Structure 1
């Protein structure tokens, strides 16, 4: 049972002796088992492939080495991002126009009311009596109109009679005057004829005054009718103001006036809000207002996480004096009334696509004038190109201002300036 451990220990001792104390003899013994090399081609190792593919550089080349990314412009959705809020389509405090006590049972907040539904009723008091009095005065005024109109034909007939008498008097006066001139008539007769003409003219003037008085009487009667009609209208409006109706369908934000409350003109009966459809309201900076158009589609994410979609219906033509921004409104369907007034929303308004380059934010730099841009390589020479950033994304920033295809320096851009010759290595893009 102990023979095998003893043999194993002896062999280990021999191996250690040759490995440590007599290494040369061990190497000579092992070299006898190595096969001789042949002229047959051998398969290239991966290490050799890597060595062959490595770039052979000139040790005397003192150009700075940079890494570039070959970027091509792609049309990207150039949306306008705004921070806004939801806003009710209508929010109205329905107020009273009459004074009196409420006699209707209140409707509680949160109830849905239809357009024209009664919300508050006020005690009519003596309003009905005032209406009946006004109607009686109207009937009296209307009865006076025929009487006044009947006097007008009589006055006109008297005017016609006076005009006829004036014509007759003038004929008699002319005849008497001619006879007196020819010596066949006396002066007394001529004077009497002239007096008759003057009297006839006075009668015509009196008759004309009578006609004008009759016409004035008719106008006065008609004015009395109109005044009585206005009084009736006021009485009817006063009665109509005693009942307050919902101006549109919506939800009550407050209870309607409590039973027994004394209402004064201007006192609020209830607050009603309309949420379908609902508006998204944002404010566009003046630098981006030219990219927004009425009718453009927009999406928004609410603070609750819900996403909604709508259409731009209004873009202000006047900027806010303090913020220099322009109000934009987007109409959104809210038939289920899940969106509330005043919720915060991140709004994205779609615009026409713009060619842009997707590059890492680290590729951007500043030139000596403080311009934001990137450094590109053209025929081995560095150039600085100013850029504009459209927006930031998880994969990088979208930039405009570059050529359709550009070799953008992504490593080493801070160590070179425009006009410097460089050695480049293309960056390997990985997903």
Structure 2
């Protein structure tokens, strides 16, 4: 057996034991063996406040921390959201009538103008139905002068009957007076009374004739209106045979193929409007008051395209699941380069606010889970202050909710609570 390796291993083990386990005793031994001349040199006079920076002089219960003195600065804030592009309008155009398609189909991706025909159906007997309704309307309209003329004729007969009644009354009175004087017979008196009753009957007949003429005119008016309604109905049915684009846009599907049979409710084509295009996002309730309709806004697509527009809609009701509010931006898209459904990073400008720029490591939570920072009050005690994160920056985060000037603990904030005395060492302000 070789003795040298064993001795070497024992020495190494003894050295490591001295360094690791008996480190303090080893350093004391080395200090005792060092030259004593340096001990005769008198130490320099310490400043009067040197004890304040000596860790051994800190009072019991006071915790050393690192802190920074932060000053608020005004920044232009932005509300940042994730969203997506969305067509301004999208409609599935359906058929309202039954018929066979007789128009050539338009292919998806084609641009159509407003009122441009997309699907045309075979008219069938619709044209004949319209012609029949128009003929009935013309016939009823032609009879109107004749029926209207019957009313003045009946009125003239009434006037004539009234005149005869007046004449008969005069003759009756005269015959009665003559009869009383013995100058007229009873037969003449009876004849005048009969003439008066005949005149009264003629008046009643004339009045009935007027009512009949007026009823005939009312019936004719009803026939005219019915015929006009039939014409309008036939025209409406013919209008349903030509299915037009409700607005200018792009076809998202082919129109119905020629020869296919469409029933009411069958799809002709789907059309979308992309100019202007909407950018839709959902803002949290903590930031909804920072968004206003009409505010300038922008968005960046995944391919790097930058968009500029303005807020056109802000929901008044929150989504019941996410507790967020829908916000919409209108962005011009004249060349239709922006597609429906692209992911976008939305930035909405809001009014400037006073904020502190601090390192994100200064953020902490209190016992209730509120986000904030630990600060130092005038009595050199730790105090928790809640904050609101406005936005991130390469050098830190912008926080709101703090005084204009505040001392923030940057190292050691996790080891103190409210009211604990601290001994801060200030570092350079990061702003």
Q: Aligned partners of 2:301 and 2:291: how far apart in 1?
A: 21
Deviation of 1:214 after TM superposition, in Å, equals 1.0
1:27-426 equivalences under 5 Å are 57-58=53-54, 59-62=56-59, 63-173=62-172, 196-393=195-392, 394-426=394-426
Separation in 2 of the partners of 1:69 and 1:195? Answer: 128
- Residues 182 and 377 of structure 1: CA distance in aligned 2, closer, same or farther (over 3 Å): farther
Secondary structure, aligned partner of 1:142: helix
Cα distance, 1:135–1:201 mapped onto 2, change above 3 Å: same
CA distance in 1, matches of 2:126, 2:402: 79
CA distance in 1, matches of 2:246, 2:367: 64
Partners of 1:101 and 1:369 in 2: CA distance: 70
Tell me, yes or no, if the aligned pair for 1:382 and 1:416 is still in contact at 8 Å.
no
Pairwise CA distance, 1:187: 7.9
Distance 1:163 1:416 in 2: 117
Per-residue CA distance 1:96-116 (angstroms, 9 max, x = gap): 222221122111111111222
Relative to the length of structure 1, the TM-score reads 0.79
Question: Cα distance 1:391–1:175, how it changes in 2: closer, same or farther (>3 A)?
Answer: same
CA contact (8 A) 1:387 1:399 kept: no
Contact 1:99–1:263 (Cα < 8 Å) also in 2: yes
SS in 2 for 1:426: strand
**Alpha-carbon spacing, 1:273–1:372, altered in 2? closer, same or farther (3 Å):** closer
5+ residue gaps in structure 2? 1-43
Cα separation, 1, equivalents of 2:258 and 2:173: 89
Q: Which runs of 5+ in 1 are unaligned?
A: 1-47
Size of the alignment, in residue pairs? Answer: 381
CA distance in structure 2 between the partners assigned to 1:419 and 1:182 by the alignment:
138
Shift, 1:73, TM fit: 0.8
CA distance in 1, matches of 2:178, 2:283: 103
Is the partner of 1:109 in helix, strand or coil?
coil
Measure, in 2, the Cα distance between the counterparts of 1:323 and 1:176. 105
The alignment partner of 2:381 has SS state of: strand
Deviation at 1:411, TM superposition (A): 1.2
Distance 2:260 2:420 in 1: 86
Partner secondary structure for residue 290 of structure 1: helix
Instruction: Please state how far the C-alpha of 1:388 moved relative to its aligned partner.
Output: 2.4
Give me the CA root mean square deviation: 3.0
Q: Deviations over 1:107-127 (max 9, x none)?
A: 111111122222222222222
Could you tell me how far 1:153 is from its partner in structure 2? 1.6
Q: TM-score w.r.t. structure 2 length?
A: 0.79
What's the offset of the Cα at 1:410? Answer: 0.7
- Report SS of the residue matched to 1:381: coil
Cα distance in 1 for partners of 2:73, 2:414 equals 26
| Whole-angstrom CA distance in 1 between matches of 2:422 and 2:211 | 110
